[in-house]
Structure 1
Amino acid sequence: MKKIFFSFCIVLTLALSATAQVQSPAEFLPTYGKQITHYHQVENYFKQLTEKSTFIKQQKYGITPEQRDLNVFFISTPENLANLEQIRNNNLAAIGLSKEGNQTIGDKVIVWLSFNVHGNEFAGTESAMTVAYELVNPSNTETKKWLENTIVILDPCINPDGYSRYGNWLREISGKKTHPEATDREHMEVWPGGRYNHYIFDLNRDWAWQTQPESKQRIALYNQWMPQVHTDVHEQGYDSPYFFPPSAEPIHNYIEKYQRDFHATLGANISKKFDAQNWLYNTSERFDLFYPSYGDTYPAYNGAVGMTMEQGGIGAGRAVMMNNGNIVTIQDRILHHATAVLTVVESAASQADVLLKGFRGFMNNSRKTVKGNYKMYVMKNNPKLIQLADLLKKNNIEYSYADASVKTSGYNYSTKTDKGFAIEPNDLIVKVDQQKAVFTQVLFEPNQKLNDSLSYDITAWALPLAYGVEGYALKNSIAIKTKATIEVVEKSVPEKVYAFHIPWNNRISAQVLSLLHQNNIKVRAAMKKAVFGDITIEPGGLLVTKGDNPKIADFEKTITDLIKIKTDYNYISTGFSSNAKDVGGENFTLLTAPKIVLLSGKGVSSTEFGAAWFYLQETVDYPVSVVEVNNFNRIKLFDYNTLILADGDYNFSEEQQKKLSEWIKSGGKVIAMNGALSLFDGKEGYALSPFASEEDKLNSEKEEEDAVLKERFLDYQDTERRDISKSIPGAIIENTLNKTHPLSFGLGDKYFSLKTDDRTYSLLKDAINVAYIPKDYKSYGFIGNGMKKKLTNTVSFAVESKGDGMVVYMVDNPLFRGFWENGNLLFSNALFLLN
């Protein structure tokens, strides 16, 4: 008896000692719950936990553009943490993604918790510390029971750069006392805000596309674990009650019953705890499960129960008064989040068997019983497949290349009809019969079923159209010999070369031209097809001639080293063309290196600026001067030849408009996107107008007036849905191309534009309408009935010459979220090929 009592005392002493050692956030951080925590303090807090608790283990998985660490923390029992690698392999083996399974270790449910994908939603990271503490706190015996069959993977801050940008600003402008009045400056965040990452991208829209370094590194780790539950912790406007699952419609029809059932269970469990505290909340109203690149949908299409948690807090600063007169504080936001997120862990632990069975069934059965109408996708050989293959690889989607030829038929994305075609060597093949069958279908299936038009995001993303390749969807999987890669034979360059040819057919072409310009090498571009023996140079094809660059020492080696990343480059030994397009003739235009200024600042759309900045910094790695709009008068415009205006509200004065017009006429080039077109819309001397004639304008005004009169008799309840009928939240629209214009080079026979707003302009007069929406256009995704007719014969991309300069009108943003690959090439045309 004494021995038992002595052992009990030892255990109790160790427990009390551990409790004393592991500090809560409030004990460790002097301003916790009163002021935002610096990111390095967050890291220090988690370091304290990992040093003093055996229930938590840290793994660095990456680094941000601003050199901050990206970390996850594994939280479970010491026994489970000692067997993490085997548990991971067991999980993957159960769904056919590993052969290293070991049945001697029991099944564990894996719950991944992600906080602060939006940097200014800072209660996420603050609550992550409380969640971690409660999970490892030795005195919390309840959480220890959960961890016996649960592995928690906790990412306290997905977006450290945005979080730090917001945090530094909030601390700088904070006084000693809080100011709950909504007009105080701590509730009015300055441009560009902390929501976004370093490149001003919304990381919560980047899960599938992985354009950003944070996303690439995180998803690589995610796919190594494949959790059963993923919780994405957010904040919304501070007046909004807390949101937790179930999610709103539209919910993709590939979301299975077990996922919906756990949403319902979780909603019931969280609501009980919120009810007990009289906290307000809502479910099933706003946040849907459709667009595949969110922190709830990406996991959902990969078999997990994905979910969004939303606490009212954006713009709240340290404390703010809501419309109901109550003041919401940081402490409130932390408590609400911690309560909801810990309930997720609790619910998952109690339903581990159900979740594991559902997850494994989702992954394994989807391979056996293919969802959707198609079982195989074929992309015809095209240099743009390099980027598409990279996307598939990042998402662990299996693909191969044809190594034989066979005739078949399939649904053609461009024509939206079934047609015969031949699969030929080097065509890219994606079969749905794979472990990631559902996610493969979601990315490739031509027509996604949208069961509710009130979607939170874009409603179409057909990859062949995004990448500008000829694609087919096949109802049956064709047996054909395949290979894993396309072999690239290294070229043997002769000692003497007349000129090097770089085909203009993907983003790598633009990267090479960027390198050549930055090394002061003169480059020409073909305006029409030119033939030199067995070498055909298509429009846009680049030529680097020895004659243009006589001072380059060892011409052949120097140029080869610069252009070798473009593996399909070649060379010609003569300037004499067999079709009368000689190198020294008018067909080959000498390109001018762009000297670029990009406007930023208040009034400019943060994310659209970010898309342009990221393109220049990362996609083509080209120098750019970024200038705040309020410093426009200080710009020496004649030191530049290119001005990029991202979407925004540019409130230029009459004098500034005049300055801009004079610069354009003297040879300047403006690339204006979306809202920036208002600088030229209806302005004297410019062709841009929403209407083709005064009669069209009057007819449109009459239609709008008639619609307003009719709405007087309509019920209030359906107001939002009627507004949706006039909108286009994000659909793919067919465009007819003027293929002879340099802005269209390399894009293909048609251009499919991702249209994300209802802005329309008639076909321009006295300008070149390079891409426009034809009368009977093809489309994918939701377009409101009121918008469908309005889009007919409207321009998407046009070029207007003014004196020696030009304006490139981009009604749609080809750089939207960085994933529209053919848009990257279109923008490259505007930047580099238009002289």
Structure 2
Amino acid sequence: MKKLLTFVYCLGISAISFAQNDYFFPKKQLNSAIPTPEQFFGYGIGSHHTRHDKLVEYMRELDRVSDRVTVQKIGETNEHREQIIVTISTPDNIKRLEEIRKEHLTITDPSKPMPDTKKAPAIIWLGYNVHGNEPSGGEASILTAYYLTATEDPEALGWLKDAVILMEPVINPDGRDRHTHWANMHKGDPMVADANDREHNEVWPGGRTNHYWFDLNRDWYLAVNVESRNRLAFYHQWLPNVVTDFHEMGTNASHFFEPTKENAENPLVPKYVYKELNGRFAKYFEQAMNEIGSLYYTKESFDNFYPGYGSSYPDLEGGLGLLFEQASSRGHVQESQNGDLTFGFTVRNQLVNALATVRASLVEKENLLKHQRNFFSETIAQGQKFATKAYIIGDANDQSRNRAFWDLLLQHNIEFYHLAGDVTENGSTFKKGKAVVIPSAQQQFLMVRSIFDRPTTFADSLFYDASAWNLALAYGLPHAELKGAFQKGEHITKTDLKPTPTPFTKSNYAYLIEWTDYYAPKALNQLLDNQILTKTSFKKFGIGGKEYGYGTLLVSVQKQKITSDELYQKLKQISQNTGVTIEPVSTGFSTSGIDLGSNSFQTVKKPQAMMLVGGGVTSSEAGEVWHLLDTKIGMPITKVEVYNFARLNINRYNTIVLVGGNYAVLDKPAIQKLKAWVANGGTLITLKTGTEWAIKQEIVKEKLREIKPDSSRNKARINYEDLQASEGAKQTGGAIFEAELDITSPIGFGFTGKKLAIYRNNNTILELSTGAANSVLVYTQNPRITGYVHQESLKRIANSAAINISYEGNGRAILFSDDPNFRGTWFGTNKLFLNALFFGSNISSGGQFGAEEE
């Protein structure tokens, strides 16, 4: 029996505590031996923002004083904040959690007997605060945990008997604390409701995102960030029946609960989820909100289309995902069109819907359990009947990228296998050991479909987020559909993810590293960090019976600052660190193409990179660059506040990155300073609207493909209420397109095929450059592969430039119309960015340097 009291809790509940409980839990029977949040924190919920560490302390205190609660650490964030799961149920259920978990998983396996749905508990996952500056959910988690621990209400006690409640109080601890600190440090006494007050206007990048400025609510499917990976590992141990996702929205809104917008449902999810389960649960949310007199709405906005939200991912795992959106006070109290909106009010709305979710889940328990069994039975049956019996995928030239994709599949518990032998399909040969086969007939068939599907027709033209998410294309891996019987090799597990670089012997002449390997840039960065002279090949060549492509790295033994033995040891260490294979050669004489002493091998300069961040800059794109270089390359990049640019000595940098943004803070002298830096030999890399800005400021001479105004006087009239939908449909919210790459350009080094899939979610469109070889990547005539795009936008995208190189004096600008690093998952295109970073200074308007003289 856990210790129930400390002396302070015996002192009773203060008058304010009574007021707190009257506000949040009117007429509820609560055990006074359980510390209220106010007794523990020293302030009432809603009067102050609770730091993440204090929230965790309170959950652990509930664990200490009550047999209903247990707290489990599932990981840590980048900033070393704990990720926890709070499990709440009856003491008997808590004692046999592992038994319950294993029994519950039999529901998801149609080959095993179905448990008794009357006796089996429902598994309810309450998830909060995925966006750090949407804090009402995190505060509501405190109150929800308190109530379920302290309740003596007969109905709630029945909930605990028939359910295991898994609570993730804060999905994004780093972002939450960023916002918590901001709100508390600017809180006035008396509080200031004026929306112009600093409390309600966070500085860049705000608290919405995690440490690397990623939106974790898009990451369930992509599994890029550590928070998501920790969660998914735990999630798949339980496969809950119901999952909540508590958010906030604009201050002038009210409260939203599902169902979402019509025609905005994921087509792979059974209609029963949307038409039946969502409708049934909505009645409980309606009742809960009516009882406290809060306004709400449904059906008008948001969607379940993209599978990577916290409210949509569970729908593909046999559960029911539920989205809640609460108008935000963005501080402690703020003016709104509905009157002053207090933090406590927002918390209460989230609280009552969390409890309504538990209530609904228990009423619908048998339906939920039967749905989960039917879901997996039908999913496996669909896979068995599906015309594509399996998918085969893998790149013979890049095992590192293959392993990254395998890791993604394992995150989603997808079953897949090595090839039993080489397979040729649709003219492509997939090599054993370098490709895998993914059967359709499996529990995760719908997730497999999501990864490979290419939809082009849609019931709606407005999307809250992406309309395409084919991860096979994102990883840039060759793949094919197998329509007939296939053979499976060994089952792939986590042990297959460990890099196994080929051991190599010492050379007294030179070493080669193929640039096709995804982690070759990481190896190059370590070579340059160790001051090892490294060159890259601008032409193909063959040596030692092997052919090498553009970008191959050459490390000669001569001219190094260290001995040949020291060089060999360093290279062995780099190979182990990166998984990259290093090949020794004993001669510089090629069997085809250039020799190793050719001027077509150019010395690579170490990038000294700087990126502008801060007000006006798109934080997500800046975060993607930062995350890529930190986690994939191990290379630092200096992040400079855009406001500090004018007084910064930029001559210490040879590369400057401008991601999307307006850069309005840079005045004419600052623009001239940047322009002069480029002309003096610098490399400027721009993305999306950063590219637009550079063109409009005449830093470069390229042109945008502008929208031609419709001058027709007979343009059809539309109703005012349809205007937003009409204009919104013209936006490219997120689709995948085909482009053709010049693989002989340093920007194209390491790519073996000319056709490339690109993700686009903007309308920045570049005209082809006037320079014959300056448009390195160009959209094809019929570029759309998958996703929604308006026909007018599609016409403008066709045959436009995706990457232009603009030469200015002794320098150059490398202009991307898109984001090659999108959400940290576009392994197929982020090498384009890395090539610009590492090889930018080697690019000149006359082609390769060092042409021979006769």
* TM-score, normalising length: structure 2: 0.90
Tell me if 1:538 matches 2:582: no
Q: Percent identity?
A: 30
Amino acid at match of 1:511: K
How far does residue 569 in structure 1 lie from its aligned partner after superposition? 3.0
Candidates 421, 445, 468, aligned match of 1:404 = 421
Amino acid at match of 1:678: E
Alignment of 1:542-557 (within 5 A): 542-552=553-563, 553-557=565-569
Cα separation, partners in 2 of 1:493 and 1:629, compared to 1, 3 Å:
same
Q: State the match for 2:7 in structure 1.
A: none
How far does residue 144 in structure 1 lie from its aligned partner after superposition? 1.1
How far does residue 174 in structure 1 lie from its aligned partner after superposition? 1.4
Unmatched runs of 5 consecutive residues or more in structure 1: 1-15, 409-418, 692-696
Candidates 800, 815, 821, aligned match of 1:794 = 800
Candidates 162, 168, 185, aligned match of 1:155 = 168
Q: Per the alignment, in what secondary structure is the counterpart of residue 300 of structure 1?
A: helix
Q: State the match for 2:408 in structure 1.
A: 391
The CA distance in 1 between the partners of 2:284 and 2:721, in whole Å, is 31
Tell me which moved more, 88-97 or 769-778: 88-97
Q: State the match for 1:13 in structure 2.
A: none
Amino acid at match of 1:733: F
1:34–1:331: 8 Å Cα contact kept in structure 2? Answer: yes
The CA distance in 1 between the partners of 2:129 and 2:699, in whole Å, is 48
How far does residue 100 in structure 1 lie from its aligned partner after superposition? 12
Tell me if 1:271 matches 2:271: no
Q: State the match for 1:827 in structure 2.
A: 833
How far does residue 60 in structure 1 lie from its aligned partner after superposition? 0.4
1:216-268: CA deviations, max 9, x gaps? 11111111111111101111111111111112231012222442211101111
How far does residue 96 in structure 1 lie from its aligned partner after superposition? 2.9
Q: State the match for 1:414 in structure 2.
A: none
How far does residue 206 in structure 1 lie from its aligned partner after superposition? 0.8
Q: State the match for 1:222 in structure 2.
A: 235
The CA distance in 1 between the partners of 2:315 and 2:820, in whole Å, is 28
Q: State the match for 1:559 in structure 2.
A: 571
How far does residue 396 in structure 1 lie from its aligned partner after superposition? 1.2
Q: State the match for 1:466 in structure 2.
A: 474
Cα separation, partners in 2 of 1:515 and 1:280, compared to 1, 3 Å:
same
Cα separation, partners in 2 of 1:407 and 1:544, compared to 1, 3 Å:
closer
Tell me if 1:110 matches 2:116: no
Q: State the match for 1:376 in structure 2.
A: 390
Q: State the match for 1:814 in structure 2.
A: 820
How far does residue 167 in structure 1 lie from its aligned partner after superposition? 0.7
* TM-score, normalising length: structure 1: 0.92
Q: Per the alignment, in what secondary structure is the counterpart of residue 217 of structure 2?
A: helix
How far does residue 821 in structure 1 lie from its aligned partner after superposition? 0.7
Q: Per the alignment, in what secondary structure is the counterpart of residue 680 of structure 1?
A: helix
How far does residue 676 in structure 1 lie from its aligned partner after superposition? 1.2
Tell me if 1:283 matches 2:298: yes
Alignment of 1:601-640 (within 5 A): 601-640=614-653
Q: State the match for 2:704 in structure 1.
A: 690
Alignment of 1:321-720 (within 5 A): 321-324=335-338, 326-370=339-383, 373-382=387-396, 383=398, 384-408=401-425, 419-426=426-433, 427-447=435-455, 450-481=458-489, 484=492, 491-552=502-563, 553-564=565-576, 565-651=578-664, 652-684=666-698, 686-691=700-705, 701=708, 703-706=709-712, 709-711=713-715, 713-720=717-724
The CA distance in 2 between the partners of 1:491 and 1:173, in whole Å, is 57
Q: Per the alignment, in what secondary structure is the counterpart of residue 291 of structure 1?
A: coil
Q: State the match for 2:3 in structure 1.
A: none
Cα separation, partners in 2 of 1:716 and 1:487, compared to 1, 3 Å:
closer
Q: State the match for 2:67 in structure 1.
A: 54
Alignment of 1:204-283 (within 5 A): 204-248=217-261, 249-260=263-274, 261-283=276-298
How far does residue 401 in structure 1 lie from its aligned partner after superposition? 1.7
1:429-463: CA deviations, max 9, x gaps? 11111111111111222327632222111111222
1:18–1:52: 8 Å Cα contact kept in structure 2? Answer: no
Q: Per the alignment, in what secondary structure is the counterpart of residue 281 of structure 1?
A: coil
Candidates 300, 319, 332, aligned match of 2:315 = 300
Tell me which moved more, 550-559 or 593-602: 550-559
Q: State the match for 2:140 in structure 1.
A: 127
Cα separation, partners in 2 of 1:166 and 1:134, compared to 1, 3 Å:
same
2:654–2:683: 8 Å Cα contact kept in structure 1? Answer: yes
The CA distance in 2 between the partners of 1:590 and 1:548, in whole Å, is 12
Cα separation, partners in 2 of 1:35 and 1:52, compared to 1, 3 Å:
same
The CA distance in 2 between the partners of 1:61 and 1:98, in whole Å, is 30
1:682–1:688: 8 Å Cα contact kept in structure 2? Answer: no
How far does residue 473 in structure 1 lie from its aligned partner after superposition? 2.3
The CA distance in 2 between the partners of 1:492 and 1:450, in whole Å, is 51
The CA distance in 1 between the partners of 2:681 and 2:754, in whole Å, is 30
Cα separation, partners in 2 of 1:201 and 1:556, compared to 1, 3 Å:
same
Amino acid at match of 1:541: T
Tell me if 1:723 matches 2:735: no
The CA distance in 1 between the partners of 2:827 and 2:672, in whole Å, is 35
1:377–1:429: 8 Å Cα contact kept in structure 2? Answer: yes
1:246-297: CA deviations, max 9, x gaps? 1223101222244221110111111122123331111122121111211111
The CA distance in 2 between the partners of 1:432 and 1:803, in whole Å, is 55
Tell me which moved more, 83-92 or 140-149: 140-149
Cα separation, partners in 2 of 1:495 and 1:808, compared to 1, 3 Å:
closer
1:769–1:797: 8 Å Cα contact kept in structure 2? Answer: yes
How far does residue 596 in structure 1 lie from its aligned partner after superposition? 1.0
Q: Per the alignment, in what secondary structure is the counterpart of residue 779 of structure 1?
A: strand
The CA distance in 1 between the partners of 2:774 and 2:672, in whole Å, is 23
Tell me if 1:200 matches 2:213: yes
Amino acid at match of 1:159: N
How far does residue 483 in structure 1 lie from its aligned partner after superposition? 5.8
Alignment of 1:757-768 (within 5 A): 757-766=762-771, 768=774
The CA distance in 1 between the partners of 2:392 and 2:278, in whole Å, is 36
The CA distance in 2 between the partners of 1:711 and 1:815, in whole Å, is 39
1:540-567: CA deviations, max 9, x gaps? 1112211242524432222111123334
The CA distance in 2 between the partners of 1:421 and 1:677, in whole Å, is 37
Amino acid at match of 2:31: T
1:343-399: CA deviations, max 9, x gaps? 111111111111011011112321122286533111143312121111111221111
The CA distance in 1 between the partners of 2:117 and 2:785, in whole Å, is 53
Tell me which moved more, 445-454 or 574-583: 445-454
1:603–1:649: 8 Å Cα contact kept in structure 2? Answer: yes
The CA distance in 2 between the partners of 1:294 and 1:775, in whole Å, is 33
1:493–1:556: 8 Å Cα contact kept in structure 2? Answer: no
Tell me which moved more, 89-98 or 599-608: 89-98
Tell me which moved more, 363-372 or 246-255: 363-372
1:388-422: CA deviations, max 9, x gaps? 111111221111121224555xxxxxxxxxx4555
Amino acid at match of 1:686: V
Cα separation, partners in 2 of 1:373 and 1:719, compared to 1, 3 Å:
farther
Question: Cα RMSD between the aligned structures?
Answer: 2.4
